[in-house]
Structure 1
Amino acid sequence: MTEAPESPCFPGYETLGEIYCVSFVRGISPEEALRRFGVDEETLEEVDFDELGHRSVEAMSEDAAGFVGAARIGDWTVLIEPGGWQVAVDEDIYTRVSRGTEVVSVCRHEYAEDSFAYIVDGAPVVHFTPDMPDDRSGSDPDRFVDQMREVGLDPDHDIEGPDIVDSLGGAFALAGHITGLPTSTDLRTLRFLGADPLES
């Protein structure tokens, strides 16, 4: 089997459950990230990681996060959708969130497809399912092939061959390579600005 990253990257993501999206947005504030995502600004409040998850699950509807949170890490904002998936795959949302900047997004979806996305100014540059890293799309799908190999996501992976041990762990490690953020950052220790999404 393809080797997984040696140590957990951005620990805490694995506690988010069966469906979630963790996105890193360069150079904008948590407030601006939430505004671009589309939230009811009257519901903005500071929460910890556990409360973010509980609030979102309680308010979930139609397989989308019921409460989203954003926190600053260096020059990036991490935007978390517990129970959601939209920044990775919803064109309307990722276009708004990535306007004039770049977004790295890792999405787990228990009964659909996991996703890794690198989006620049509204345009997907690299997109793939982490357990099928050979099948990539976007304007420059080979941009990170060397980094993919380093984190155990073989860009030439044979679907008929051995499984990838920890595809999501590899996806978070790749996010660390792209953002340059310390992958030891424990998401569970962050304080988030959270809010209810607007009705679509």
Structure 2
Amino acid sequence: MKRRAVLLLLAATGLASCADPEPAEPRTGVSSVAADYLWPVHSRELGQGFCFTLVQGLTPVEVVARLGGTELERVEWQRLVGPGDGERGDTGRFFLGVTRAGDDWSLIVEDNGALGVTESLVEPLSAGSTVLAYYSDAEEHGRLLALRDGDVVLDFDSGTPDRWGGSRPGDFVPAMRAAGLIGGTGVTGPTGPALAFLDGQTGVRLTHDFLVERTYLLVTVPKP
């Protein structure tokens, strides 16, 4: 991958878990809130999959430090995800962008990366904080993860929607029902409801316009 190879060259040169709170009912329609968040499904930029991770109470620089990452440069949205090639071509590193999102949250954006649902990395990241992440692959199979102070409190996999993980999954039943992930609201795919859930938990609206307007720290993080 030309883009990834260049980024690695820059870096080298120094530039700067199971519970079952209730069965999920079949999903077949789209709620009005979730409809605002269907854009990644149709996006060529994120066509190979994506992961959005929100971290409370840490600045982007602090997020990078906790992850043991290396900042390469500051980039706009199109340079971060424009090629839509994700992690292809490098098996040893995650590539991601980190930006400020609201008064109390930092956002990690990955083009076809899964750092946000890699528990060995996000558990320490959540120390004294809250982390919420949603990962989707190219087939729109999704995983939703919530952590508080090193504890996985919710682990929801759209492939097994009637089986949840985490220490306190029941805490999230009302919010997940309101977002359309459970309760028979009839959404055919999890992406819109999952991002609506993140909105409800954080107040951060992950619309395409919101993401395009931001500047990101382009970062590499070694894979465990």
User: TM-score, normalised to structure 1's length?
Assistant: 0.81
How has the CA–CA distance of structure 1 residues 59 and 176 changed in structure 2, closer, same or farther, with 3 Å as cutoff?
closer
Aligned residue number for residue 181 of structure 2: 153
Aligned residue number for residue 23 of structure 1: 53
Q: Which amino acid aligns with 2:116?
A: V
- The 1-side partners of 2:143 and 2:92 are apart by 16
Comparing 182-191 and 10-19, the one that deviates more: 10-19
1:190 pairs, out of 185, 207, 214, with 214
Please list, as runs of the form range in 1=range in 2, the aligned pairs for 1:19-168 lying within 5 A after superposition. 19-41=49-71, 43=72, 45-54=73-82, 57=85, 60=88, 61-62=90-91, 65=94, 67-74=95-102, 75-88=104-117, 90-110=118-138, 113-130=141-158, 132-154=160-182, 164-168=187-191
2:201 pairs, out of 178, 186, 193, with 178
Computing the radius of gyration from Cα coordinates, the structure with the larger value is 2
Q: Which amino acid aligns with 2:202?
A: T
**Which secondary structure does the structure 2 equivalent of 1:143 belong to?**
helix
How has the CA–CA distance of structure 1 residues 189 and 5 changed in structure 2, closer, same or farther, with 3 Å as cutoff?
farther
**Which secondary structure does the structure 2 equivalent of 1:186 belong to?**
helix
**Which secondary structure does the structure 2 equivalent of 1:57 belong to?**
coil
Shift, 1:8, TM fit: 1.5
Q: Which amino acid aligns with 2:166?
A: G
Aligned residue number for residue 21 of structure 2: none
Aligned residue number for residue 30 of structure 2: 4
* Contact 1:3 1:164 survives alignment (8 Å): yes
Sequence identity (%): 25
Shift, 1:23, TM fit: 0.3
How has the CA–CA distance of structure 1 residues 176 and 112 changed in structure 2, closer, same or farther, with 3 Å as cutoff?
closer
User: TM-score, normalised to structure 2's length?
Assistant: 0.73
- The 2-side partners of 1:111 and 1:54 are apart by 19
Residue ranges of structure 2 left out of the alignment (5+ in a row): 1-26
Q: Deviations over 1:39-85 (max 9, x none)?
A: 124x2x110111112588376423963x2111111110011121211
- The 2-side partners of 1:166 and 1:58 are apart by 21
How has the CA–CA distance of structure 1 residues 12 and 38 changed in structure 2, closer, same or farther, with 3 Å as cutoff?
farther
Q: Which amino acid aligns with 1:148?
A: M
How has the CA–CA distance of structure 1 residues 26 and 72 changed in structure 2, closer, same or farther, with 3 Å as cutoff?
same
- The 2-side partners of 1:25 and 1:53 are apart by 20
Aligned CA RMSD, in angstroms, stands at 2.9
